[in-house]
Amino acid sequence: NAGVTQTPKFQVLKTGQSMTLQCAQDMNHNSMYWYRQDPGMGLRLIYYSASEGTTDKGEVPNGYNVSRLNKREFSLRLESAAPSQTSVYFCASRTVQETQYFGPGTRLLVL
Amino acid sequence: AQSVTQPDIHITVSEGASLELRCNYSYGATPYLFWYVQSPGQGLQLLLKYFSGDTLVQGIKGFEAEFKRSQSSFNLRKPSVHWSDAAEYFCAFHSGGGADGLTFGKGTHLIIQP
């Protein structure tokens, strides 16, 4: 039981490049989330998916798109990366008891 | 608006001393409250949570937290800290309705002095 897994662990992009961050969970959770973590800001919600086939915007969705591919997988896409998107990205999934479990994170640097 | 405040950005504690990390929330009803810990370069690990019932909740690694409705607080405590407790601690909140995400405080960085 791996919990929540994320790939890649590290990525360096140039401004304007695109990439997709992958997330998968093996806990059969319905709800999944993408957060970004910036120094002194805590974690902020980018997008979430309450169930397979649905997605909703969070606090900071601009510049991102998401896909809930199936119940296990929830990907985050940066279509045209900007230096402001340099951050650590965390994926999480949630139990029916409201508890969220987090992946190890993806560290992204946009030059 | 719903919010979580962690007033202390940094706290330094001597090894073996007691610890209290503060968390205050702003919400009209009783929220779901969480404390997470993040070691350097790692993801977030759940320490404990409060949904309802007994206002003193026990967590992993010897941590506990007390929900005080009158003070809108959910402070984290540990009687005796260990060097391995050095980490970033986040308080988080959820309204309990819907599948939207957690609202996090900005975190408290705990430093342990030998």
Average pLDDT of chain B to the nearest whole number: 93
Q: What is the pLDDT of residues A16-50, one digit of tens each?
A: 999 999 999 999 999 999 999 998 888 999 999 99
Band of residue B42 on the pLDDT scale cut at 50, 70, 90: confident
How many whole angstroms separate alpha carbon B40 and alpha carbon A57?
A: 29
Cis, bond preceding B7 (omega within 30 deg of 0): no
The reply to whether residue B96 touches residue A98, judged by beta carbons under 8 angstroms, is yes
At A69 the pLDDT is 87
Q: Cα–Cα distance between A75 and B15 in angstroms, integer?
A: 41
Contact B46, B100 (CB under 8 A): no
Taking CA–CA distances from A45, the nearest residue in chain B reads: B101
- Which residue from A minimizes the CA distance to B106? A42
Q: List phi, psi (to 5°) of B84.
A: -70, -10
B106 → closest Cβ in A41, A45, A100: A41
Instruction: Tell me, yes or no, if B46 comes closer than 8 A to chain A by beta carbon.
Output: yes
Contact A48 B100 (CB under 8 A): yes
Does the structure show a pLDDT above 80 at B17? Answer: yes
Q: Inter-chain contact A105–B101, Cβ cutoff 8 Å? A: no
DSSP string, B21-71: E--EEE-SSPPEEEEEEE-TT--EEEEEEE-SS-SEEE-GGG-EEEEEGGG
* Banded model confidence at residue B2, pLDDT cuts 50, 70, 90: confident
Strand arrangement, sheet containing A19-25: A4-7, A19-25, A74-78, A65-68
Encode A7-24 in three state secondary structure. ECCEEEECCCCCEEEEEE
- Mean pLDDT for the stretch of residues A60-73: 95
Contact B102 A97 (CB under 8 A): no
User: What are the Cα distances from residue A99, in Å, to A7, A10, B29, B57, B83?
Assistant: 22, 26, 19, 15, 27
| pLDDT recorded at residue A1 | 67
Give residue B40's pLDDT: 87
> Is residue A53 classed as helix, strand or coil in its secondary structure?
coil
How far apart are the C-alpha atoms of A29 and A23, rounded to whole Å? 13
End-to-end CA distance of chain B: 41
- The verdict on a CB contact (< 8 Å) between A99 and B106 is no
Residue B41 pLDDT:
84
% of residues, chain A, pLDDT over 70: 99
Q: Is the pLDDT of residue A91 over 80?
A: yes
- Which residues of chain A neighbour B106 with C-beta distances below 8 Å? 40-42
pLDDT band of B100, cuts 50, 70, 90: confident
